[in-house]
Structure 1
Amino acid sequence: MTTTAAEVTTPPGAPEQKSRSKVRGGGLGRYILIRFLLIFPTVFILVTLVFLLMRTIGDPITASLGGRLNAEQLQERIHAAGYDRPVIVQYVEYLGQIFTGNFGTTISDNRPISTVLLTYGGATLELAVYALIVAFIVGIPLGMLAAYLRDRWPDAVLRVLAILFYATPVFFAGLLLKLVFGVWLGVLPIAGRATTSTELQMQLLPNKTGIYLIDALQIGDPAIIGDVLSHAVLPAIALGLLTAGVFLRLVRTNVIGTLSADYVDAARSRGVSEFRLVRKHAYKPALIPIITVIGLQIALLLGGAVLTETTFEWKGLGFMLAQYLSARDFVAVQGIVALLAVIVAITNFIVDIVAALIDPRVRY
């Protein structure tokens, strides 16, 4: 019996394998498409809620300038801004502006909100990255240690510590850190993103990014880099510990679950030490849930950034949001919150895709 070239090059079962690969690819593609399409209703709902909540207090002009202008001047400003039109008309116009990237103009200082976002957005992004680094450095090793020492007194202490990290208000943690390291020990600055001299040098950069660490690296002076990093330590710890508590409990739970798997039992029966089992076999599977919740933690970090930036006078979007709330400038508040909603939705989409690529079970 002769064998054809097609039979040699195509082993039995190849059509079935090809079909399975198509299914897998289709599953991932379908998952990405669905997650991408979900961005739009998510942003739409959040923007709508913010718009309606802002309108429950009346028109923004009266809320912001009611005590500084007389009735005639107020009416002129209200009419010029279109706030005397029906709410549904304002809502449709606002949605159109959002889709074109126009978030409006602030009432208190008459600046385009897009300019505010570009000016202060880098500071909030930088703080969020620092806080995530702190959360990873603190939460993951402590979670692995708690799993390794499970059901012993260090495990109980670490679990209580995780609850304290998560439950302690960010502003309270920030005040304690300022008191201990800034006032009592005097080793770290307690306010601002850098000293005045450093900020003046950064303003002279032709390609400044607004992210101080990148700008400091462009200058290349170790003293300036150290100044920027020293100002970031306390805000990053105050905000990062909030997420570190979540990571600690997640890693502990998933490492303990992995240690009860059959392949771990087989390795244990061969005499592999418990520490090596935690470090080699249970570590990576425990990171998958961390990746899946990073999107949610970004929202938590952005919410905590308002209090952290206000506590440390870290001039980012959270700091400006608090200032505009104090000035009752609800147009600016509306624009900043809308942008944060878009950032959170896109971040969740990216994290979901990464999680689906790492763990195929996520996509089904």
Structure 2
Amino acid sequence: MSARSSRVTHQHTQAEAVESPKKPAKGKAGAAKKNRLSGGFFRFVITRFLLIIPTVFILVTVVFFVMRATGDPITAAQGGRLSPDELQRRIHEAGYDRPLLVQYVEYLGNLLHGDLGTTVTDNQPVISILTRYGAATFELAILALIVALVVGIVLGRIAAKHRDRLADAGIRTFAILCYATPVFFLGLMLKLVFSVWLGWLPSSGRASLASQAQFDRLIRPTGFYIIDALQLGDPAVLLDVLRHAVLPALALGLLTAGVFIRLVRTNVISTYNSGYVEAARSRGVSEKRLLSKHAWKPALIPIITVMGMQIAVMLAGAVLTETTFEWKGLGFMLSNYLKARDFVAVQGIVILIAIIVSVANFIVDVVSALIDPRVRY
């Protein structure tokens, strides 16, 4: 009996000796795997960030040479207004009579120092134009994105829930109309209905003259009228700013909402019919919970992925939207400088928009990599 106990104890000791090295090895393997994933993710982020540099460089180069394709900026803007001698004098002073390659190298050097040049028509530093009117465009883009997400997600979920029914058909038609209607035409229709016929909302501007006079009292205005109104602490000014923002945000936001509606509907239906949802349904999970918990979250991933491209669409649409509603932002100023053929100002605004789009796509790629397990890095 003693020999048998000794044999069992010896076998048990051997088993522990064999198993004990495996546990630390498994832990080390898990830690190594985690480290590899972390290292891979950071390499992915750094690589995507570094790609912004050649992207912006190519865009800067293309914009520079395209703007110079019709000649120098002074001749384009002031050619018919100045005498030939005065025109040549100003061209020489600005350095536009030098070889194009020399101008290009100098322009890149100035960009590295934050100098985007001086406008030809009103002799202002381009950087001051960007800082003065950029906040208005960003504010409009943020409000439009909120409209697009709210309308797109809500209506997309409803369409998926009532698939192939009357509500679904109506929402899909609405999405097509939103995407296909030119933003300036939609803006004019909104102004006609809500400003002219109903008189509910103002038709142009970012705020009334009384509110703008209140903003002049601020020591450090941000340029974001909603934030500035909150700084003032005056509900009447905040309400006035929001009323002026409704129609431009709707016009620009509905353009993107049409894309989001179709994305949400398609992806919710796809995940709703997937294997793991069917397994949850077989366990007795309610249809409402299946839609809200199991099929909903995976459907958000394509929206986040597409959001970077839609920001570019919004910034392009902001030119027409701001012109339609006289919303004095970068789009409004870009339209004016294009009419005046002030290519220096146009060049600076386009470069800033290109940088914003590149950075926005970088952020979207990083967020997608964090939430989407299918992304490999």
TM-score (norm 2): 0.93
The answer for the alignment partner of 2:81 in structure 1 is 68
Q: 1-side partners of 2:135 and 2:198: how far apart?
A: 30
Superposed CA RMSD in Å reads: 1.7
Q: In the alignment, residue 271 of structure 1 is paired with which amino acid?
A: G
The answer for the alignment partner of 2:189 in structure 1 is 176
Which moves more between the two structures, 180-189 or 256-265?
Answer: 256-265
Deviation of the 1:157 alpha carbon: 2.2
Establish whether residue 207 from structure 1 lines up as the match of residue 233 from structure 2.
no
- Structure 1 segment 276-355 matched on structure 2, within 5 A: 276-355=289-368
Q: In the alignment, residue 268 of structure 2 is paired with which amino acid?
A: V
Task: Identify which of 247, 250, 253 aligns with 2:263.
Answer: 250
The answer for the alignment partner of 2:58 in structure 1 is 45
The answer for the alignment partner of 2:208 in structure 1 is 195
How many residues of Structure 1 are paired with residues of Structure 2 in the alignment? 363
Deviation of the 1:29 alpha carbon: 1.3
Q: 2-side partners of 1:153 and 1:270: how far apart?
A: 30
Task: Identify which of 237, 254, 272 aligns with 2:250.
Answer: 237
Structure 2: gaps spanning 5 or more residues? 1-12
Structure 1: gaps spanning 5 or more residues? none
Describe the superposition over 1:244-275 as per-residue Cα deviations: whole angstroms up to 9, x where unpaired.
01111111111111112222101222333333
Which moves more between the two structures, 24-33 or 311-320?
Answer: 24-33
The answer for the alignment partner of 1:128 in structure 2 is 141
Describe the superposition over 1:92-145 as per-residue Cα deviations: whole angstroms up to 9, x where unpaired.
111122222111110000000000000000000000000000001100111111
Describe the superposition over 1:139-196 as per-residue Cα deviations: whole angstroms up to 9, x where unpaired.
0111111111122232222222111111111100000000000000000001000000
Which moves more between the two structures, 340-349 or 306-315?
Answer: 340-349
Q: 1-side partners of 2:71 and 2:25: how far apart?
A: 72
Establish whether residue 160 from structure 1 lines up as the match of residue 183 from structure 2.
no
Deviation of the 1:26 alpha carbon: 2.1
Q: 1-side partners of 2:121 and 2:23: how far apart?
A: 72
Q: Is the 8 A contact 1:309 1:315 kept in 2?
A: yes
Deviation of the 1:10 alpha carbon: 5.5
The answer for the alignment partner of 1:360 in structure 2 is 373
Q: Is the 8 A contact 1:148 1:274 kept in 2?
A: no
Establish whether residue 109 from structure 1 lines up as the match of residue 122 from structure 2.
yes
Q: 1-side partners of 2:76 and 2:190: how far apart?
A: 36
Which moves more between the two structures, 264-273 or 36-45?
Answer: 264-273
Deviation of the 1:276 alpha carbon: 2.7
Q: 1-side partners of 2:374 and 2:106: how far apart?
A: 42
Of structures 1 and 2, the larger Rg is shown by 2
Deviation of the 1:8 alpha carbon: 9.0
Q: 1-side partners of 2:279 and 2:298: how far apart?
A: 17
Q: 2-side partners of 1:311 and 1:136: how far apart?
A: 23
Q: In the alignment, residue 343 of structure 1 is paired with which amino acid?
A: I
Describe the superposition over 1:31-75 as per-residue Cα deviations: whole angstroms up to 9, x where unpaired.
111101110111111111111111111111011001111001111
**% identical equivalent positions:** 64
The answer for the alignment partner of 2:7 in structure 1 is none
Q: 1-side partners of 2:55 and 2:164: how far apart?
A: 41
Q: Is the 8 A contact 1:31 1:363 kept in 2?
A: no
- Indicate how the Cα distance of structure 1 residues 181 and 275 shifts in structure 2: closer, same or farther if over 3 A, else same: same
